[in-house]
Structure 1
Amino acid sequence: MEELLLRYIEGKTSVEEDATVEKWMQESEDNRKLMRNVQRISFAAEMAQVASEVDEEEELRLLHSKMDGLKMSGGKRRHAAIGRWMQRVAAVMFIPLLGGWLYLYLTREPKMVPQMMEVKTSPGMTAKVTLPDSTVVVLNSSSVLTYSSLFTGETREVKLSGEAFFSVKKDEKKRFVVHTPHGTSAVVYGTKFNIDAYEGSQEVLTTLVEGKVGFSFPNSGIKKEVVLAPGQKLTYDIGQESIKLAKANVDVETSWKDGRLYFYNTPLEQALRSLGKRYGVEFILRKESLKKNSFTGVFVNQRLDRILEHFSLASGYRFRYIKDKNIDREKQIIEVY
């Protein structure tokens, strides 16, 4: 990266490399500090090279010699020659002045103005984001994360619509708050947890991997909070405004962030929901009895049609894509019967 930054400063990078560097600089304050250090090193090297090519004493000696030789010459010629040599002397003297000014300019700490940042993932895609405090967030399909380019004050606040896995940088002085739809939120200091809070869903799900999370939710107009222990999964029913805590299979709940789909005695409806998020589709169960079955299996970077073949072989269920011009939906619909 240091080599790429040097070429970027020298203007020798391609358009793709420019985009790579600029995205890297946006990821954290540490990256921006490294860029400033590379700029200083590059500038110092250039100034040293310029200084080594200019012999100041020789330039001044030649100037005196020329001036002595021109004392008896014509006025216009004398003034023109002196002017040219004074320009050379001025250039020699300007180098350290320019160096000092640029050093002060490059080493000053810029005043950073917080800006709101937004990261969106397309259906069937995931993305990893590093926040200003070095917290790492992995976004699932069709999710939106909004945050400030600088965390100021006593809290670090982000807004999530969708699903994300958070590895929060520990900071005892600044709480980390994730605001989710329907007036819910999660408050942490340093931990790893998963939140599933899509805008159109009837539930908000939170699974704690390690650390401590306080889940806040509205209940009859009153704000309440439930604290999760590691290995617990919380389900908040939006319509009923009720909470259910249960022991979680952490590997199952968070496998999506590693590109895997891990089912362990997982109810069919929940398994299809995971497939829907991963591949940007929507499943419709034609029979209520289908919800009674469950599946176990691991799929790594496989196409959806191949996964559905495994489901069919294991259960006898059939799947078909619905192509109805009268249905106006963004997602492809798959019927299960």
Structure 2
Amino acid sequence: MSDQQLYDPFHISSLLARRLYGTLTVAEEAELEVWLNKSTDNREILEKLLSESIRKEEMEHLNEFDEEAALKNVWARIGRPESPGRSTLRSYMIKMATAAAVVIMLSVGFWIFKVKSPVKRLSYKVEKTEISPGANKAMLILSNGTKIDLQAAKSGNIAYQGGAVVNKQAEGKIDYRGAAQPGTTDAFNTLAVPKGGQYELTLPDGTRVWLNAASSLTYPVAFTGKERVVTLNGEAYFEVAKNPGKPFLVDVGGKQTVEVLGTHFDIKAYNDDPDIRTTLLEGSVKINAKNSHTIIKPGQMAVNNLKTPLIVRNADLDEVMGWKNGLFVFNDERIEDVLRAVARWYDVEVEYQADVSQKKLRGVVSKYKSIRELLDNIAITSGIHYKIEGRRVILIN
């Protein structure tokens, strides 16, 4: 575990959540152990998470569940209150360091809903098709057209490009080592993550990128010009390496560009989404769209619907960053938006035979739970039945 990861609550909260769900790999278990051994406080956090549980009767009476009170109780147990004066990113990181507690304590991964009407359990038909959650998988497409299946590739050096070495560190991560020689500066690689996948990449300049399902990033083997330019399709979270003399630009499919010097931000730009959303956690970014441009501050989101000038609003960082931390987080989200994310992660198709236009969902659940559990909770809350046929989820009345 690098020093950066060791003190990155995003990374630690993900490890904690997966430790409690029993989904850690051997390598991740070793990473977590390094962090636990750093201080007694760290180990105490894990011990508290392991020792706490929700009473069975609380699980059986969702309509009596007080989400706000439960969340406050979690904060009290963890003992990490948010103090005034912290930056947006630091405050959010500390909050996310206890995300595992929120999910585990509040019903061991059960969907947490603030229900506006009485809950009723519904019957539904489910075929015996097992649909697993997503995993760390991606295809690395080199500039010469060679394709490397990163899920199947062994750890170590997997490609050589004019002095630069592509290294697979562990499951779910690759980076670039060494400097590319002259003549390879026009070489571009693409990291393509399919539906049901996610992957982490460290670019040649040290910038870290996490790609969500059904996303791709195209980037040069070496950043040699006055700017560092990459092209994104889908969703990615960036931690840009600082270089005041060489701005970092993200080209979002020719629809907008995001310009930074060194900062943390998320871009969601799927072709089947109605807009492009850029959310800033730290630093400053300038967004240039075809019809306007703006600069946003930490905690803000810029929304580009490709028709009107950019709209800037306060962001729900829990919701935006949930995917990176192993969670689905929805705050009064339309059911169509929820199921688009579900479809990408579980690699399924969704068919609507019911009217869901007025349905909204609010909840938190682990991305690593069975799709059946997730759909069961959507059914309980929304009043919509469902059935599964192959890799197709059908919503019915």
Which TM class, normalised by the smaller chain length? 0.5 to 0.7
How much does 1:332 deviate? 3.9
Once the two structures are superposed, residues 291-323 of structure 1 have per-residue CA deviations (whole angstroms, 9 ceiling, x without a partner) of 342322232411212210111122321123467
Matched, 1:20 2:166: no
Change (3 A) 1:151 1:182: closer
Q: 1:31 aligns with which of 163, 177, 201?
A: 177
Once the two structures are superposed, residues 98-153 of structure 1 have per-residue CA deviations (whole angstroms, 9 ceiling, x without a partner) of xxxxxxxxxxx955622211110111100101100110111111111100010011
Q: What is the aligned partner in structure 1 of residue 366 from structure 2?
A: 299
5+ unaligned residues in a row in structure 2: which ranges? 2-150, 160-164, 168-173
Aligned residue identity for 2:395: E
Matched, 1:196 2:271: no
Residue pair 1:266, 1:294 contacting (<8 A) in 2 also: yes
Aligned residue identity for 1:320: K
Aligned residue identity for 1:246: R
- Cα distance between partner residues in 2 of 1:209 and 1:110: 35
Q: What is the aligned partner in structure 2 of residue 249 from structure 1?
A: 316
Q: What is the aligned partner in structure 2 of residue 88 from structure 1?
A: none
Question: What does 1:171-210 align with in structure 2 at a 5 Å threshold?
Answer: 171-210=243-282
How much does 1:29 deviate? 8.9
Question: What does 1:23-102 align with in structure 2 at a 5 Å threshold?
Answer: 23=158, 25-26=165-166, 31-32=177-178
Pick the structure with more helix per residue.
1
Aligned residue identity for 1:177: L
Matched, 1:262 2:329: yes
Deviates more, 1:260-269 or 1:156-165: 260-269
- Cα distance between partner residues in 2 of 1:18 and 1:140: 20
- Cα distance between partner residues in 2 of 1:29 and 1:279: 26
Aligned residue identity for 2:269: A
Aligned residue identity for 1:26: V
Question: What does 1:85-164 align with in structure 2 at a 5 Å threshold?
Answer: 111=182, 113-114=184-185, 115-164=187-236
Q: What is the aligned partner in structure 2 of residue 334 from structure 1?
A: 394
Once the two structures are superposed, residues 140-194 of structure 1 have per-residue CA deviations (whole angstroms, 9 ceiling, x without a partner) of 1111110001001110000011111111111111110000124211111111111
Secondary structure of 1:291's partner? coil
- Cα distance between partner residues in 2 of 1:234 and 1:147: 24
Q: What is the aligned partner in structure 2 of residue 234 from structure 1?
A: 302
Residue pair 2:210, 2:238 contacting (<8 A) in 1 also: yes
Question: What does 1:305-324 align with in structure 2 at a 5 Å threshold?
Answer: 305-321=372-388
Once the two structures are superposed, residues 246-276 of structure 1 have per-residue CA deviations (whole angstroms, 9 ceiling, x without a partner) of 2111121111112221223333233222212
Change (3 A) 1:116 1:287: same
Normalised by the length of structure 2, the TM-score is 0.54
Residue pair 2:210, 2:237 contacting (<8 A) in 1 also: yes
Residue pair 1:164, 1:196 contacting (<8 A) in 2 also: yes
Aligned residue identity for 1:232: Q
RMSD over aligned Cα atoms: 2.9
- Cα distance between partner residues in 1 of 2:152 and 2:305: 46
- Cα distance between partner residues in 2 of 1:198 and 1:155: 25
Secondary structure of 2:322's partner? helix
Secondary structure of 2:258's partner? strand
- Cα distance between partner residues in 2 of 1:17 and 1:268: 35
Normalised by the length of structure 1, the TM-score is 0.62
- Cα distance between partner residues in 1 of 2:290 and 2:353: 34
Residue pair 2:209, 2:239 contacting (<8 A) in 1 also: yes
Aligned residue identity for 2:342: L
Aligned residue identity for 1:21: G
Q: Which has the higher contact order (CA 8 A, sep 6+)?
A: 2
Secondary structure of 1:158's partner? strand
Matched, 1:216 2:288: yes
- Cα distance between partner residues in 2 of 1:249 and 1:196: 14
Secondary structure of 2:320's partner? helix
Q: What is the aligned partner in structure 1 of residue 107 from structure 2?
A: none
5+ unaligned residues in a row in structure 1: which ranges? 2-15, 34-108, 324-330
- Cα distance between partner residues in 2 of 1:293 and 1:29: 40
Residue pair 1:193, 1:210 contacting (<8 A) in 2 also: yes
Q: What is the aligned partner in structure 1 of residue 127 from structure 2?
A: none
- Cα distance between partner residues in 2 of 1:207 and 1:291: 26
